[in-house]
Structures are given as structure tokens and as C-alpha cells.
Structure 1
Amino acid sequence: MSLLYPRLLSGQARPLFEEYRKLTLVELADRVDTSHESAVYVATGGDRVAEDRLRELRKLIIDLAEEADFPNKPNRSAQTKFDLRLAAVLHTEAGLTPAEAASGDIWAFFALVLLPDIAFWRYPDPPRDRILATDLTRHVFGRMWWRAQLVHSPGDPDPYSALQILGEAAFDQIYARRAALGGSPYLVKAILRVWNAQDLSKLDGQARRDILRDFLKRLLRLAPFMEFESIDETALDTELCTAARESVAAILNSPDTGGRERHPSQSRLHIRRP
């Protein structure tokens, strides 16, 4: 039986966000709760999540934050480590189904009722979408659950190891195209598998971003003509490797990026199959 989480609708979430953005972390901790008088539940099958389970989930996330120096401001490395561990904990412990996790109102409840101190610690003075989940690719908690959902490989020794392949900005390029690419865990895992196999270490960060963007554009052009999920893993990897190889060649030879003069190591790059 799936768990149903409380939903904080936008009419209640927006004014709460405006109030909370002016509070300290200590004051936010005083507002923490496992329920809210305005919260609602979707009228579908499932059991309402118990408040004890919400308290346990909060404790797990608080422990992760404290390891990242909460309530002090974490450095970039600590933020990244916290995010990756948060993704795995949310995905394994929350008991959310994709249908529930697609609701921004649930993530607003997480950020404004259950974990407001953690939300505003992770993103001080945050824009609305980080808290209200108007864009799930940006929400402090929702984006990490979905990253975990898309890379989860239950048969692997570390089911969430693929979380470390791409940084947040790069992964968002995939998830932002979720209608065609980012909504399929099978395809996302193949993209990450193929991308991880490429030897692009000699390129600067901008070149890698340009190649990834071009790679995803090529997949978008293929999407209307190819049912990715119906292709077996080996054949899919072959198709993606071809697209990756074409993207590398296109970007490194593009006059807009300085071509070979910008990337003198081009001849030493290798496109490997995963």
C-alpha cells in the first residue's frame, strides 16, 4: 500500500514562505511540525503517512545536515555530499510513489512544515521555487528525490552510485527535458552510463557542458522516431555512443567554440563504449 503525504496548497504555502524567509534558523526550528491545519490529502488509495514516520524521516535528515555542519553554513563540498545522501535517504525512507512525488504541494509541506530549518539552511534567502516547488527541478527536497528515482538501480551494490556522475546543473539539463528524456529511468540510466564512459577529462568545464547540451539535443531529435525503452540495453548504448561521438566532434570543431585551437587535446580524446 502506498503512503499518502500531506499537501500544503499554494494558498497557504505562499504566505508562509514570505513569513519564514524573514526568520532565523532557530525560529524556524520552533515552527517545525508533522501536521498543518491547512494540509490536505489526495483522495486516492493509500494509507496516510503516520506522524511517527515523519518524525523519523526528519531525524534522518537532521543527522545528515549535522554531518554537513548544520546549522553553520556548509562549504560547497559539504553541500554536495549532503544533497547526494539526502537523495538516497528520501528515496529509500519516505515511501513515496512517483505519482505522489510529482505533487509540488507535498514538497511544499516538507520545506515549510516538516523541515523548514533545513530548507532555509540549505538555501538561505531562497527563490520561491526552492521552497514552494513550482518547479520540481529546483526544489530543495523534491529535486533530489527525483534524481534518486531516475538513477536507482536496485540490483547494484550501491543503487544510487550514478548520482555522482553529473553535478546538479548538468543533471538538470536532462530532467528539464523530462517530457521526452528525463521521465524514463531506463533512458536516464543509459545516458549516465554512456556519459560516464566518455574520456572528456582533458576538456574544460564549458566544453563538457556544451557537449552534454548538444548530446541531449541529438537525443531529443531521435525521440520522435525511436522508442528508447523498447530497445535492449546493448543496442541503446550503441545508439547513445554514436550520438555522444557526434556531439564531441561537433563541439570541438565548431568555430563558435574556437575549434581545435581551444581544445588542443582533441586528438587524444577517446569515446568509449560503456
Structure 2
Amino acid sequence: MADILQEIVAHKRVEVERFKQELSETEIHRRVEAILDFGVASMKEALTASDSGIIAEFKRRSPSKGWIKEEGRADVIPLSYQKNGASALSILADEKYFGGCDEFISIARRSGVKIPVLYKNFVIDEYQLFQARLCGASAVLLIAADLTLVECRQLLRTAHELGMEVLLEMHAESELDYAALEPDMCGINNRNLGSFVTDVQNSFRLAELLPRDAVKVSESGISNPDTVRALRAAGFRGFLIGENFMKAPDPGKALADFIGKIDN
């Protein structure tokens, strides 16, 4: 497969410019400023306090596998995740490649979701941070492979100014310099976003190279409770799991069963 990440980022730049035409930067800033007094739950604190650390993902499709659950409803599955023990949620906001949208976070919030929600998107512009805050996100994903250190530092600063935390995702040792920006959470993606090859050993390899006090999150390719236990022993506090639950008939029940096996 060609480097899909480059394709996604190129499309995202066009998409963001379209969004700015539909809702001006001045107007989205005004709308967000009006809600800044209303805080959002801390994802970092939720993971640190949790016994399971599961970040359950609402992910209807992927570029590599196509539709996983096209009929998946944002007013049903995220709330079911919350009821069945998720520490936090990740909700895809990319439409073209992942079948998501910002509105899914708003819908999940209106359905009764109170736990932290990660805005899962390819963030390359400050405008998207305002979109994330407006729809009810607690934290945003920043991907080292998409950004220069200077860009990442500025986006992290703006996210904090808007009252959100940052999960900074890295995949390779060459990207670990980004951890020096001191994000709220350091994510290790086990899936190569260019080739989509997945290897959970990536988390184990890179964990010891991250700052000791970093809140570490392992992302992608986790399907076995034993893997979660081993990752916890390696210092991880968060475990982002999407397809493993979304492909089940009842994602919430699949989450509950998974957590039950971690505890046993």
C-alpha cells in the first residue's frame, strides 16, 4: 500500500480550508470562547487512576480494512463503552478515510457520555483544535509524523489554552524527540501509518526510551488481555483499542468481557 498518511494529510489540508469557508475562524473562536468556562474531564487523570486503562474507540471504518461497522451509532456505542468500564473514549472525526465526523462526539456527549473523549483526527491546523473543543473533546491527538517540532509545540500550547490535553503519538525512535515537548500523554502507535503493518512489540521497544514519568499509551493491534497486562508491566497506563471491539456484534459487551479477562 502506498503511504496513506501522506495522502490523508494532503486531503486534510484541503478539507480544513473548506471548513474555514463554511465557518470562519473568527466565528469558531467566538463560539469556543463562549464555552471555555465549562471544563472537560482529564484523560490523563482518568488513565492514571484506572485499573484497566482502556481507551475504547468508536471507529466505523479504516483505510486498510474498509467498513468495520457502518451502522455503528454514536449515541449507542460510546455510551455502552462508558457503562461497560472504559476509562476514556476515542472517537474518529475523519470522514473520508475513517467514516467519522466531529458531530459524533457531540452526539456521544448528548447521549450521556461523561468520561474523557479523545478527538481522533489528523490535526495539522489550529482551526481543528477549536473544532475539537466545540464538539466536546477532552483531549486531541497530535501525530509526530504529521508535524514539525515547531508546529507540534504550537498546537500543544493552543490545545492547553483551550483547556484540552494532548496525546502525542510517535511510532519510531526517530520521533522520540517530540516527547521533550512534555505532552500530557505519550502514545506509541504499533501500526505504521504509511504501510499499516502492525506490531505490538513496537510499544515494548520504545517504552524504555520515553521519559520515566510520561503517561504512556499503547495504540493499535491490541486484542489480547495478556498483552495489556504485559504492557502495564512495561509502564503503560493507557491502551487504545478499536477494531477488536467494533467488529463484535455488541462492542460494549466485548469491552466488558475483555476487562474481565484482564482482571482474572
The TM tier, using the shorter chain, reads under 0.3
Larger relative contact order (Cα-Cα within 8 Å, sequence gap ≥ 6): 2
More strand, by proportion = 2
TM score, norm. by length of structure 1: 0.27
More helix, by proportion = 1
